Amino acid sequence: MAGAGGRAPLGLRRWLSSPAPAPRVCVVGSGPAGFYTAQHILKHHGGALVDIYEKLPVPFGLVRFGVAPDHPEVKNVINTFTQTARSERCAYYGNVTVGRDVTVPELQQAYHAVVLSYGAEDNRVLGIPGENLPGVYTARAFVGWYNGLPENRDLKPDLSCETALILGHGNVALDIARILLSPLQLLRKTDITDSSLAALACSKVKRVWLVGRRGPLQVAFTIKELREMINLPGARPVLDPADFTGLESAVRDAPRPRKRLTELMIKTALEKPVEMQAAAAAGAAAPREWGLKFQRSPQEVLPSADGRRARGIRMALTCLEGSGDSAKAVPTGAVEELECGLVLSSIGYRSLPLDPAVPFDSQHGVIPNSSGRVQGVPGLYCSGWVKRGPTGVIITTMNDSFDTAQSVLEDLQGGVLDTSPPREGFGLVESILRSRGVRPVSFSDWEKIDAAEVARGKAAGKPREKIVDPVEMLQIIGH
């Protein structure tokens, strides 16, 4: 009875007196998709036992490692996830890499249903010359660095240049621009890592360009993040009114989100001269600034004279064929070069196949599925980014995870999942892990790490100081 051991007299009694064995479900990945899927199954099935596996010792995936440190309110979902993890019918096993420490077929032996919610751990690559020069980073690595993701803790990005260029027009691109340009005192009280804060304190970056291949009507960021950027203290938006000519009428009948987003950009672009005059009149020192550049496709990251680092980028100008979301950027033949010592590619995350036993659509980077049921593999499900691709905000993942959970519940109710042969659940997995020398981290272990992080942050007035070294995490819990 791993996962329910001792804590749950009521649930246990109910389970023992029930004629059918309790369905055992496991979820791979402890980000929002994993937790929302687990939550929905536990809530709507009074007997199901759910185990959540996580590669890292610590839970919550992108809520901990993706959500920007200055967005603590989004991290409130952790309170709900914590309640789920503390349920007597739920157990958390961190420090277990599915596909390496235990295979998916082994999990299928141990559980009636297996839900894959492991997200998108890779990123799309630019595929252009110079992409690997020092000074060029992926957004995913940069975000991982300032958020204390163990694998990115030694990134040490070079912030010694004045101009940074971010390729991409999504919320991650805006997050990075905001972190690069935020006044330090705004970041100091967040859970950004100490070492990133120290690096940002020495940063020379004062201008950030966000570059997209397509136009203002195709931007992927959402209006909350754009408004936040526009209102960022000490940073001036630089939008070219010419980029927005005629767009007001083009969005008149567009869906409300696109319409309001475009109108905010237009308003900001037109306001610019007034603000500049005001700043000039006040004799203000040149503030930090940021801007959106459209219809430019990166061709090459240009090396410095000694060839040792990035000094700029060459971009092909494009025109749009078609309209709306399906518009395609086609090079016009003209090119433009821009000086920038820091290039961040924020062109999307990408899921990777986990196990040869799981079908994978490498073209779209998702597991082929229907309402979360993995095609051709009964008893196997998926939710979150690995199910629908790496887009959307927290509510998108919540709904999508509830949808997958609903499929699991339907299959339990309709008998598609045969629960009459009992499954051992973690009991079986535990012996497999032990034979391979893997020691899982429990949720109460995580709570010790959590308490240590909160204690370390307290002195500096931060909500926490994240521990970035997995070895140190394991030391805290005596592993």
Q: Which residues are annotated as a binding site for NADP(+)?
A: 169-172, 213-214, 225, 392
The token duo for 276 is 């500049």
What is the chain's alpha carbon radius of gyration, rounded to the nearest angstrom?
24
Beta carbons of 383 and 33 less than 8 angstroms apart: yes
Q: Does 76 bind other proteins (CB under 8 A)?
A: yes
Q: Does 43 bind other proteins (CB under 8 A)?
A: yes
- Phi-psi domain of 99 (left: phi exceeds 0; alpha: psi -120 through 50; beta: other): left
Q: Of these, 30, 123, 190, 404, which contacts other proteins (CB under 8 A)?
A: 190
Q: Does 199 bind other proteins (CB under 8 A)?
A: no
Q: Which of residues 133-162 bind other proteins (CB under 8 A)?
A: none
Q: Of these, 28, 56, 77, 266, which contacts other proteins (CB under 8 A)?
A: 77
**Cα 181 to Cα 69, 83, 111, 200, 275, distances in angstroms:** 14, 36, 48, 9, 18
Please give the Cα distance from 93 to 426 (Å, whole number).
9
Q: Which of residues 170-189 bind other proteins (CB under 8 A)?
A: 189
- Number of residues interacting with other proteins: please give it, by CB under 8 A: 65
| Burial of 230 from C-beta contacts in 10 A (0-12 / 13-18 / 19+) | middle
- Annotated binding-site residues read 33, 54, 62, 98, 169-172, 213-214, 225, 385, 392-394
Q: Does 42 bind other proteins (CB under 8 A)?
A: yes
Of 177-185, 223-231, 303-311, 434-442, the window that binds other proteins (rule: CB under 8 A) is 223-231
Q: Of these, 27, 58, 78, 200, which contacts other proteins (CB under 8 A)?
A: 78
Residue type, 310: A
Please give the Cα distance from 111 to 387 (Å, whole number).
20
The 113-116 sheet, strands edge to edge = 90-93, 49-53, 24-28, 113-116, 380-382, 373-374, 369-370
Q: Does 71 bind other proteins (CB under 8 A)?
A: yes
The phi and psi torsions of 467 (rounded to 5 degrees) equal -85, 125
Q: Does 101 bind other proteins (CB under 8 A)?
A: no
State the minimum distance, in angstroms, from the CB of residue 102 to other proteins: 26
Q: Does 420 bind other proteins (CB under 8 A)?
A: no
For other proteins, the binding residues (CB under 8 A) are 7-11, 14-15, 18, 22, 36, 40, 42-48, 71-80, 82-84, 86-89, 189-191, 222-224, 227, 256-257, 260-261, 371, 393-395, 398-399, 402-403, 406, 409-410, 412-413, 450, 453-454, 457, 463-464
